Amino acid sequence: MDNFSLSSHFSRYFRISVANTPKLKEEVFRIRYQVYCEELGYEPLSKFPDHMEKDAYDPRSIHCLLQHTPSKIYAGCIRLVLSDSHNPDAKFPFENVCSDHLIDFNELGRSHFGEVSRLAVISQFRKREGEQKTPGGLMMFDDQQQEQGEQRRSPVIALSLYLAATSVVIDLGLDYALTLMEPRLARHLRMTGLKFRPVGQAVEFHGKRGPFAIKIPGLLADLRKNTEVSDLFQTIQASIAGKLFYNFCTA
């Protein structure tokens, strides 16, 4: 284990990309259907007869797709929802769940924000105890080991998807990333340098979820404090750099 690194493990087994073609976007929607509809029952199967889970926010989103390279299986996805260029006052997804959030979009326009959402990892990559009932296999650290200050080195999947969304936020020059997540996940992400802070009260939504925000200026400095996570972020960033404009051209 001494020679183990998150970056080398990721590069050996996974590849992440921007879903910048109709075919790749269909893979994203199929993963979401499998996870949110078939596995977790968050959405009714009958709502998506084509077996692709989509919503009204997808046309204004950047989608990232994770592939398990040895098997060629698409294992997970995540998206970044952007402000609506045709309707500057259009809400982000989290606002439908947490209407009493603390973000003042009048002070800083919505175009400065993006919302990370629809994290999904298929069940065969959510095998450990406690992960099967969450869409992303979100337990990145073991609570007992966390108390002892020992970082748990896996799974790399959920972390890599969040880092991919972070890379997109940075490349687009946004000031804040928003998300709706479990408070426990927010605590775990803080250990990696992704210091999301609460911007509202947690509510019941497929378990306890609350609105969180992270300020992009200064984020890279926080990530660099964790060498392994910083190296993984650079690997992911290199994989998706320069592919965002094409995503909009093929939306």
Burial group, residue 124, by CB count within 10 angstroms (0-12, 13-18, 19+)? exposed
Cβ neighbours for 24, distance < 8 A, ≥ 6 positions apart:
17, 18, 63, 65
Give the pTM: 0.87
Q: What is the pLDDT of residue 156?
A: 80
Is 102 part of any domain? Answer: yes
Is 244 part of any domain? Answer: yes
Alpha carbons 108 and 113: distance in angstroms, whole number: 9
Which is more confident, 146 or 214? 214
- Taking alpha carbons only, the member of 110, 182, 200, 93 closest to residue 143 is 182
Q: How many domains does the chain have?
A: 1
Is 1 part of any domain? Answer: no
* pLDDT tens-digit series, residues 202-214: 999 988 999 999 9
* pLDDT tens-digit series, residues 85-110: 999 999 999 999 998 999 999 999 99
The pLDDT confidence band at residue 188, using thresholds 50, 70 and 90, is confident
Q: Looking at residue 70, which CATH number applies to its domain?
A: 3.40.630.30
Q: What count of residues does the chain have? A: 251
